[in-house]
A and B are shown apart, each in its own frame.
Chain A
Amino acid sequence: MHSHDDDDHSHLTDTEARVRALESLLSEKGYLDSAAVDEIVQTYETKIGPQNGAHVVAKAWCNPEFNAWLKDDATAAIHSLGYTSRQGEHMVAVFNSIDTHHLIVCTLCSCYPWSVLGLPPTWYKSPPFRSRAVIEPRSVLADFGLELPASTKIEVHDSTAEIRYLVIPQRPDNTESMNETDLAKLVTRNAMIGTALVKAPGATS
């Protein structure tokens, strides 16, 4: 395990604080429309930060040894692919199955492992989403169009300063002939936080 000095409170880099200073000052004065800024950012939310997690997921599907390593020590397995984040956070991979579906919440903080997962979606940052996801995850997932069988248990994971989660979705059917590179293209940010499943190419549901 690692430790750093901001384990129990939030932390902004100087750059992040400068960005927030500009945004808060200029929107208070009416020069900037925060909602419009969020909307512009949202346009790019899936393009921000390398979504290295997709590679991790595809490798786990194709390579049983890597899969086992990921289960055992996700931090080391992910780093072995050259993906490190600035805070060197401890990563845990949780594996979806027919029996269990994993959903990750948190992400309000600068500790979100965006270098692995991409940027968190804007709706993730709303406190109502977070509390509802914990209380009634099944209905939250249904809101995203993800209806899980009643027999599938849903586990909700709240990332902490110490542990960040990555969901390894189930490999879709009929993808046996696909290689790692092509599989990685199927893996979306939402699948890696547990609000979507991975679909085979051409699948409609």
Chain B
Amino acid sequence: MNDVNLSSLPDMVLVDDEPVFNEPWEAQAFAMVINLHQKNAFSWSEWATALSAEIHSGEQRSYYQHWLHALENLVASKSLTTSTALVARKNEWHEAAARTPHGDPIELNR
């Protein structure tokens, strides 16, 4: 986390220098970006640019919805995966949820 400058991100809301999340998935999406950057999947300025592009896209979305869209776009443009693969995998998760009894961990079949 140390080499990551959160305040360099557009519109980033920090309370006591820490991000705030409204929902668990937001923290997950946040943590993925931090870890991808730590593992050199992209530079911090590439991330800031991708996020900024989403925020200024004119779409009315919450901050972390912008964040998620930016992440999907950046991993595709970096060829880490493809949009097609992401959509297919998303649907697999929906199917996995539908066959998982309430209270059990949702897992993919593999």
Q: Measuring CB to CB, which residues of chain A are less than 8 angstroms from any residue of chain B?
A: 6-26, 29, 31-33, 36-38, 40-41, 43-45, 47-50, 106, 108-109, 111, 114, 119, 125, 127, 158-161
Contact = CB atoms under 8 A, between A and B. Distances in A.
Interface residues of B, number: 49
Contacts of B105: 108, 125, 127
B7 interface: no
B45 interface: no
Give the interface SS of chain B, mostly helix, strand, loop or mixed.
helix
16 contacts: A6-B102, A11-B97, A12-B97, A19-B68, A21-B89, A24-B93, A29-B80, A31-B80, A32-B35, A36-B35, A37-B28, A37-B31, A47-B20, A49-B22, A114-B24, A158-B103
B81 to A, nearest CB: 5
Interface string B61-78: 000010010011001000
Contacts of A10: 97-98, 100-102, 104, 106
Q: Which residue among B85, B92, B98, B103 has the maximum number of chain A CB atoms within 10 Å of its CB?
A: B103
A23 B75 CA distance: 11
Contact of A32 (B36, B94, B97): B36
B108 interface: yes
Contact of B68 (A18, A44, A109): A18
A31 B72 CA distance: 14
Interface in B17-39: 18-32, 34-36, 38-39
B32 A44 contact: no
B9 to A, nearest CB: 16
B89 A15 contact: no
Interface of B: 1, 18-32, 34-36, 38-39, 41, 65, 68, 71-72, 75, 80-81, 85-87, 89-94, 97-106, 108
Given A18-B86, A31-B41, A47-B20, A41 B27 contact: yes
A139 to B, nearest CB: 22
A90 B1 CA distance: 39
B89 A25 contact: yes
B106 A48 contact: no
A119 B103 contact: no
A24 B1 CA distance: 22
B103 A108 contact: yes
A32 B32 contact: yes
Contacts of B85: 25
A50 B36 CA distance: 27
